[in-house]
């Protein structure tokens, strides 16, 4: 036979379990809308592919584009090209990105109160060309050793197998930084980011040879 104290403890224990369960369910339900929105909201489209141009979804499914098309892109997608392959994509805000061969990056983003939304491309390897289409559109490119932060510019960024990152600015200004400091790189300048060092002093360069590879994938 249970004592009154035992009954009180029994009710208190099960009451705590019920409250914990309700809180867990409530938190889960609160997260569903934001997750569904992030998963269902397209952030851009793949427009052209040459050779092996592949998009790997967050669930592991792979989709390819060969030739011109309109393959939707989503947050968390991994975009990659193989040998002798290239790709071209455009984000919803007008930013265009071309990929050279053997390139791979992940589409991410960051939202900060009072600062707004910034698109992030985590570039693991390879080479990309970026054009923010004139207007101020926040964008960051993360490489293994450096970060390129831009708003309204055109540039090329190459990541070597050892992580060395080469930035060539076609127009505008790019804030090119490593863990040891940031350098503003301006039009027709080149700079290198190396592991354990500050980015190199910008030097003048003829940008045309550095972006010549984009002509085939960008042609109408």
Q: Are residues 113 and 16 in the same domain?
A: no
Place of tokens 């090119």: 176
Q: Are residues 97 and 193 in the same domain?
A: yes
Report the pLDDT value the prediction gives residue 25, as an integer from 0 to 100. 38
d(CA 78, CA 196): 27
Strands 139-142 and 116-131: parallel
Cα distances (angstroms) measured from residue 42 to each of 73, 169, 174: 6, 29, 27
On whether the CB atoms of residues 94 and 132 are closer than 8 A, the answer is yes
Rounded average pLDDT over 151-177: 94
**Per-residue confidence at 32, pLDDT binned at 50, 70, 90?**
very low
Q: Are residues 115 and 159 in the same domain?
A: yes
On whether the CB atoms of residues 155 and 173 are closer than 8 A, the answer is no
Q: Are residues 87 and 67 in the same domain?
A: yes
Q: Are residues 15 and 68 in the same domain?
A: no
User: 96 lies in which domain range?
Assistant: 45-218
Q: Are residues 35 and 82 in the same domain?
A: no
Q: Are residues 9 and 98 in the same domain?
A: no
Q: Are residues 82 and 132 in the same domain?
A: yes
DSSP string covering 191-220, please?
Answer: EEE-TTSPPPPPEE---HHHHGGGHHHH--
User: 36 Cβ partners below 8 Å, 6+ apart?
Assistant: none
User: 41 Cβ partners below 8 Å, 6+ apart?
Assistant: 74, 75
pLDDT at 27 over 70: no
Query: At 17, which helix (H) or strand (E)?
Result: helix 4-40
Number of domains the chain contains: 2
Query: At 20, which helix (H) or strand (E)?
Result: helix 4-40
Report the pLDDT value the prediction gives residue 117, as an integer from 0 to 100. 81
Q: Are residues 90 and 23 in the same domain?
A: no
Q: Are residues 23 and 89 in the same domain?
A: no
Q: Are residues 7 and 113 in the same domain?
A: no
Q: Are residues 23 and 78 in the same domain?
A: no
Residues present in the chain in total: 220
Report the pLDDT value the prediction gives residue 39, as an integer from 0 to 100. 54
d(CA 49, CA 166): 24
User: Which CATH number does the domain housing residue 159 bear?
Assistant: 2.60.120.1440
d(CA 157, CA 201): 16
What is the tens place of the pLDDT at every residue in 73-129? 999 999 999 999 999 999 999 999 999 999 999 999 988 777 678 999 999 999 999
Strands 104-112 and 78-81: antiparallel
């Amino acid at each position: 036979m249970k004592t009154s104290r035992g009954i009180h403890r029994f009710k208190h224990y099960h009451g705590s379990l019920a409250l914990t369960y309700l809180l867990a369910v409530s938190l889960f339900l609160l997260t569903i809308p934001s997750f569904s929105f992030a998963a269902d909201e397209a952030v851009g489209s793949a427009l052209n592919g040459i050779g092996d141009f592949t998009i790997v979804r967050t669930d592991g499914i792979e989709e390819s584009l060969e030739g011109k098309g309109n393959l939707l892109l989503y947050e968390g997608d991994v975009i990659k090209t193989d040998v002798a392959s290239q790709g071209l994509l455009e984000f919803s805000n007008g930013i265009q990105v071309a990929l050279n061969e053997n390139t791979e990056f992940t589409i991410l983003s960051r939202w900060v109160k009072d600062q707004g939304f910034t698109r992030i491309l985590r570039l693991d390897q390879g080479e990309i060309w970026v054009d923010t289409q004139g207007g101020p559109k926040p964008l960051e490119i993360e490489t293994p050793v450096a970060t390129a932060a831009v708003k309204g510019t055109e540039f090329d960024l190459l990541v070597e197998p050892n992580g060395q990152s080469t930035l060539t600015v076609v127009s505008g200004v790019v804030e090119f930084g490593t863990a040891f400091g940031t350098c503003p790189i301006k039009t027709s300048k080149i700079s290198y980011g190396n592991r354990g060092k500050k980015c190199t002093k910008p030097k003048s360069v003829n940008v045309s040879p550095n972006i010549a590879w984009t002509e085939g994938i960008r042609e109408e």
